[in-house]
Structure 1
């Protein structure tokens, strides 16, 4: 299923029917659904630039006299998780990494009030819960952040207690399948009975390594290309068709 981006070939009724049937099969197989957080559930930094957060982490390192820890390219990279990964690689499991991870968590917590719910995510989550599918969050964000966001949306009971996020062991960040494996174990799910919904190649690779079927969510053409280049076959540009298939409307 392709997102609503520019088409290179005419869309026929047969194509739409095939895509809908593929999506229906993906959904019907799932007895457990693992959501990535930032992307499929919300845009966490919609009101707080992720690039500004990354810059703040770099400035904090410089204040500690550690400017040389990052390359010039790394110092201007817009992804705060990359900064965290790089420092962990060069000083694994150190107090420095723990302090930097906590600083990132505080930025994530500040972003929660201005996070944008992903369109159709809330009703999709509630509908899946209502039909008896068990849900979990498997994310590289702090579980404290996920818990606060879910509480703000009245979604805590749809997931509790199955929120698996970033730990102090940063080697376990996706694409490592650690958080997915924890979710599967605690849900009592075989990998084949679950479905991972994610929006990045690292989500896809983690699902692949855990043996979990994957549904990509790509809110634009760039994200779709990244997912497809990584190997993802089933990709949607909106959660609306997922919700409509689940409700029997497609």
Structure 2
């Protein structure tokens, strides 16, 4: 009589999965609003989105929005609608600048994401290179990082929205810009993002994705989008990064540019 035994591979714990992600990461690309801070915590996004809709109405353009878009709480949805309508760079540029001014106001009351500041500083101290790839304005991102004393951790590597709205994520354009500037292969990069569009941009760019979900709704959206690795706090990631210690960062390699 013989026994039939099936060998199964042990399931990696969440901490072990983070260790594997961190071990192969040469560069970290950050989304901004969410993983680094809650930009609109004191200047609510629904009011900003409503102001953009009202401005379109004064231009006789409210009809280009669907009913859902007219009542959205997300200013980015209004921008995407303008891009979809193909109204030309003039309208797009003016709407984008209006949103940038609202975002700049929001930086004064933005809430830092718990553990983000020490995580950014620790990775920098270990020699891992950082960049921001965001649908927010680079002027806003730069202002916030300077206010937190984090600008030197990113240097010039801030890639964000301009009037070319078709380049908003999920288009991987800004991820490619960061990879090219840092001469990094997609396989050596990690994108930390909090939305399905971040996940899709990472997928298109061939970059590993780590989801940050501050609540169950965000976690569900990321899971539905196919994100495998999602954390509800940056604290366990910070612990794993600190484990590695000085001199443990992967040695940067030169790679061909990406297009």
* Shared fold per TM-score greater than 0.5: yes
CA distance in structure 2 between the aligned counterparts of 1:67 and 1:198, rounded to whole angstroms: 31
User: Counterpart in 1 of 2:167?
Assistant: 172
1:92 to partner: Cα distance: 4.3
Change (3 A) 1:165 1:59: same
SS at match of 1:119: coil
| Runs of 5+ consecutive residues of structure 2 not aligned to the other structure | 1-9, 245-259
Question: 1:215 is matched with which residue?
Answer: 210
For residues 90-131 of structure 1, what are the alpha-carbon distances to aligned partners after superposition, in whole Å with 9 as ceiling and x for unaligned?
134331111001000000000001000000000000000000
Equivalent position of 1:188 in the other structure? 183
Residues 93 and 169 in structure 1, CA contact (< 8 A), matched pair in contact too: no
Greater displacement, 67-76 / 184-193:
67-76
Match of 2:79 in 1: 84
- Which 4+ stretches in 1 moved above 6 angstroms? none
* 1:157 partnered with 2:185: no
Name 1:202's counterpart in structure 2. Answer: 197
Structure-2 residue corresponding to 1:9: none
Question: 1:44 corresponds to which residue?
Answer: 39
The number of residue pairs the alignment matches comes to 235
- Name the one with the larger helix percent: 1
Partner of 2:251: none
CA contact (8 A) 1:108 1:145 kept: yes
**Residues of 2 paired with 1:73 and 1:30: CA distance?**
39
Gaps of 5+ in 1: 1-13
The 3-state SS of whatever aligns with 2:136 is: coil
Larger C-alpha radius of gyration, 1 or 2? 2
Distance, in Å, in 1 between the alignment partners of 2:78 and 2:152 is 33
SS of aligned partner of 2:48: helix
**1:124: which partner in 2?**
119
TM-score, reference length from structure 1: 0.91
Query: Pick from 75, 95, 113: which aligns with 2:90?
Result: 95
- What is the TM-score of this pair, normalised by structure 2? 0.88
Residues 1:19 and 2:14 are matched in the alignment: yes
Deviation at 1:167, TM superposition (A): 1.8
Q: Is the 8 A contact 1:33 1:134 kept in 2?
A: yes
Question: In the alignment, which residue of structure 2 is the partner of 1:3?
Answer: none
1:13-60: CA deviations, max 9, x gaps? x97x71111110001110100000000000000001110000000111
1:139 to 134, 142, 165: 134
